[in-house]
Chain A
């Protein structure tokens, strides 16, 4: 992959998206540099999920561009399948394939999308599951796993093909509180090895710990962008302060 000079992996420029009359994204500008983790915070409905889905081309944007390693990926002529093979997306509701075992979930994309031989894909899949604390659970179906285990399988699945960037969509929001930690540990682990990540999250302490920068999304715009310290401790915008107060009240 040809990294462009300033090392920006994902470059989001003036992206807008509406569902019918409802404008969800109203001109988003955001760059994510190589090895950087950017946390997207903001109320439900502020457009975090939509932005991630637009980047992974699961939704079509209305205006603007998204660049991956300097190449535009949102032009109508671009093959979305080739783009998605260079990105990883983890869903809030895990979306594991219920008819497949944990290991099969991880290797499906490797084998079918990336043409890896089964033996090679499974070896890497086992190693990944073990890395996320799931050794011995390879043959379990998703409904035999806890929510935290399922989400860790989903992270292994998204990471298996070594994507250029990992998009995490509220990966702990569907979990019981006591299972949040194990999933965040997996994300921390990936950050430790330099994975480029865009993380939509409601976990402010986690954003502070793992993110290099935090973006506050409000009504489809990025109102504030800066270091975690800056955005979370001394926010400038009134909306950011109000949002953080509400989060803390819970």
Chain B
């Protein structure tokens, strides 16, 4: 039988909880309702609704935009895999210690500075139009491949730095212990340091992938019919922006779940020291 004092405390706790929920509900209604009222009563709203949120146009254009979005999905899936590998490779080169690796270390610094420093849209442009202009035999001319290649270069530079930070965050006692049990430097990296580093950087890596999933739209400047470009084409034919809203929803459909995964990783793995 719980004591009166305890029942009293539990009742107070419940009251506090109910009060908190009530305040959250009221404040949500006020803020969101106010915003909605502001937009819906604005003088231009009827026209905006017609050009951006037209249900008929949405129904009409969505299948085409969604089909085009499939290309975005394919590009970022392939690019993400390539970025994970290239980024790790560049990070490994950068932390290589031996004097013989000096030029390689230098190259990896240049790689990161260069591809992280150029705006992604510019890089897509330069590679998409520059590589075919070289007229070398054997180089790809497909704008999808070239655009994806540009994204891989740009994002690998970021991801290499994420990996490097993760590796640096592993306590040096871990390397000492790995060497003390007789592992070589390379084995210590592979079996002890990298597994810990990769776990730690999973949230920031996924965060970069959210950014990548949106930046696939940049490839549209080279011509491929991905979601953004498809939506633009329909827009220019119908003079209605609803297809672009449809494209936005499709991007959200992949970036929001990824973001939730980042949150969950951040909540569990990130809390582990």
Question: Using a CB–CB distance below 8 Å, which chain A residues touch chain B?
Answer: 53, 56, 58, 80-81, 84-85, 87-89, 91, 93, 95-99, 108-109, 112-114, 143, 157-158, 160-161
* In the complex, chain B residues whose CB is within 8 Å of the CB of A158: 180-181
Q: How far is the CB of B72 from chain A (nearest CB, A)?
A: 35
- Are A97 and B187 touching (Cβ within 8 A)? no
Write out the residue numbers on chain A whose beta carbons fall within 8 Å of the beta carbon of B183: 81, 108-109, 112-113
B173 touching A93, Cβ below 8 Å? yes
Is B121 located at the chain interface by the 8 A CB criterion? no
Chain A residues with CB under 8 A of B181: 84, 108-109, 113, 157-158, 160-161
Q: Mark B151-194, 1 if CB is under 8 A from A, else 0.
A: 00000000000000000000101101111111110010001100
Q: Does B196 contact A (CB under 8 A)?
A: yes
Checking B176, B177, B182 against A96 with a beta-carbon cut-off of 8 angstroms, the contacting residue is B177
User: How many angstroms between the C-alpha atoms of A58 and B183 in the bound complex?
Assistant: 12
A91 with B196: CB separation less than 8 A = no
Closest to B196 in A: A99
Interface positions, chain B 196-246, Cβ under 8 Å from A, are 196, 199
Task: State the 3 A-B residue pairs at the shortest beta-carbon distance, nearest first.
Answer: A109-B181, A113-B182, A85-B182
Taken together as a complex, chains A and B put the C-alpha atoms of A54 and B182 apart, in Å, by: 15
A108–B183 CA distance with the chains assembled, in angstroms: 9
Can you sample 15 A-B contacts with CB below 8 Å?
A58-B176, A81-B179, A81-B184, A84-B179, A84-B180, A84-B182, A91-B177, A98-B196, A99-B195, A108-B178, A108-B181, A109-B182, A109-B183, A112-B182, A161-B181
Q: Contact between B173 and A95 (Cβ–Cβ < 8 Å)?
A: yes
Q: Please, which residue of chain A has its CB at the minimum distance from the CB of B180?
A: A89
Contact B173–A108 (Cβ < 8 Å): no
Report yes or no: A113 in contact with B187, Cβ–Cβ below 8 A.
Answer: yes
The reply to whether B182 and A95 form a contact with Cβ atoms under 8 Å apart is: no
Q: Tally inter-chain residue pairs, CB-CB below 8 A.
A: 62
Q: Complex Cα distance A157/B173, Å?
A: 15
Contacts of B171 in A (CB 8 A): 95
Closest to A87 in B: B180
Most buried by B among A58, A158, A161: A58
Counting chain B CB atoms within 10 Å of each CB, the highest count among A91, A95, A96 belongs to A95
Contact of B182 (CB < 8 Å), options: A53, A81, A98, A143? A81
User: Shortest beta-carbon distance, A6 to chain B, in Å?
Assistant: 27
Closest to A157 in B: B181
A-chain residues with CB within 8 Å of residue B177 when the two chains form the complex: 91, 95-97
Question: B258-273, CB under 8 A of A: which get 1 and which 0?
Answer: 0000000000000010
Which residue of B173, B174, B180, B187 contacts A88 across the interface (Cβ within 8 Å)? B180
Name, among B179, B181, B187, B191, the residue most crowded by chain A CB atoms within 10 Å (CB to CB).
B181
Q: What residue of chain A has the Cβ atom nearest to residue B195's Cβ?
A: A99
Bound CA–CA A95/B178 (angstroms):
9
For the complex, give the distance between the alpha carbons of A143 and B177 in Å: 17
Q: Is A58 touching B196 in the complex (CB atoms < 8 A)?
A: no
**Binary interface encoding of chain B residues 28-57 relative to chain A, with 1 for a CB under 8 A from any of its CBs, else 0:** 000000000000000000000000000000
Q: How far is the CB of A104 from chain B (nearest CB, A)?
A: 10
Least Cβ–Cβ distance between A76 and chain B, in angstroms: 14
**Given contacts A97-B174, A98-B196, A56 and B180 within 8 Å (CB-CB):** yes
CA distance A113 to B186 in the complex (A): 12
Nearest CB to that of A82 among chain B residues?
B182
In contact, B176 and A95 (Cβ under 8 angstroms): yes
Residues on the B chain within 8 Å of A97, using CB: 174, 177-178, 192, 196
Chain B residues in 8 Å Cβ range of A161: 181-182
- B180 in complex: contacting residue of A58, A98, A99, A112, CB < 8 Å: A58
- Shortest A74–chain B CB gap in Å is 15
Residue of B nearest to A104 (CB): B191
